[in-house]
Amino acid sequence: MKSPLLSLPGAVPGEGPDEGVAAHYGDLFREQRALADGTGFVDLSHRGVVTVTGAERLAWLHLLLTQHVSELPAGEATEALILSANGHIEHALYLVDDGGTTWIHVEPGTQDALIGYLESMKFFYRVEVADRTADLAVVHLPAGSIAAAPKGVTVRETPHGRDLFLPRADLEKFAAEHGPAAGSLAYEALRVEAHRPRLGLETDHRTIPHELGWIGGAVHLQKGCYRGQETVARVHNLGKPPRRLVFLHLDGSEVRLPAHGAPVRLAADGPEGRPIGFITTSARHHELGPIALALVKRNVPVDAALLADGTAAAQEVVVEP
């Protein structure tokens, strides 16, 4: 979905998973500082929006998701995953229930596959699943923002800010009243700083929740059965995940950022050494400089100096080995 806010002055279109919204509006660091100060908003209208209605919606979702949602209080935000039978991450859901409807936003372009899976699991449950992407747009207000959500708009509030499920037709009016707008690059830089994983960037076809620190935040360890639970329980109780998420401070003298998928090596092995991981997201931060998230082998020493696509990198532990 192409956002009408791409017509705002200075808007530069995003690329990759953030195609359809602005990467920035002419000043990346100013936009980051505004978000960090609790002002402005981020256009996330390219994200998929799904709603679930019906009296049994929470009990039904509880059977499918990694999160405990059967008694989710109205207005309380949570995150959840859908796993494969082998415990690999297939979907990441960001949801809130208003007492009558469960509102969910997901990564751009993943809503069709998610709805297909949910429809296949309805059986005799009295629930209705709807794709609302065409008429609802997600916008993000940063933590500390005093901006009021428009009347009647569902809000998903977290420690990182508020996600609004805004009528798509109201996007331009919202931008005029709640600016300045910040692009996806500013939002991503703050996400990387906060060590928050993102489906499709920090994940690949074999990622399990333990590797990214999603245990607890998106995976509840005390709930009943769901697809992939055996792997979650086995790794949590008996094993260790093969990889772990790390935060990297990159050498600021390098002009380019390492791309998604770029190899990570031990500095001691040199630029031709065997890869021990890969870059998942890199960003330029207004205070920290160039930073990144990466997945590395679990047994990589936590104090080891690394090379990210040839760029010197110091690591911070996100997931304990």
What is the separation, in whole angstroms, between the first and last Cα of the chain? Answer: 40
pLDDT tens digits, residue range 260-280?
999 999 999 999 999 999 999
**What confidence tier does 239 reach under pLDDT thresholds 50, 70, 90?**
confident
Q: Which residue type occupies 158?
A: T
**Using CA atoms in the order 27, 259, 192, 196, what is the torsion angle rounded to 10 degrees?**
140
Burial class, 4, CB count within 10 angstroms (exposed 0-12 / middle 13-18 / buried 19+): middle
- Assess contact for 240 and 120: CB atoms under 8 A: no
pLDDT at 1 over 90: no
Average pLDDT over residues 216-231: 93
CB pairs under 8 A, 24+ apart, for 166-169?
Answer: 166/136, 166/137, 166/138, 166/139, 167/135, 167/136, 167/137, 168/1, 168/45, 168/134, 168/135, 168/136, 168/137, 169/135
**What confidence tier does 220 reach under pLDDT thresholds 50, 70, 90?**
very high
pLDDT at 223 over 90: no
Q: What is the pLDDT of residue 182?
A: 98
Structure tokens at 170: 């109201």
**What confidence tier does 224 reach under pLDDT thresholds 50, 70, 90?**
confident
Q: Which residue type occupies 10?
A: G
Q: What is the pLDDT of residue 13?
A: 98
For the whole prediction, is pTM greater than 0.85?
A: yes
Q: What is the pLDDT of residue 252?
A: 87
Average pLDDT over residues 240-269: 94
Residue found under tokens 């949801």: 95
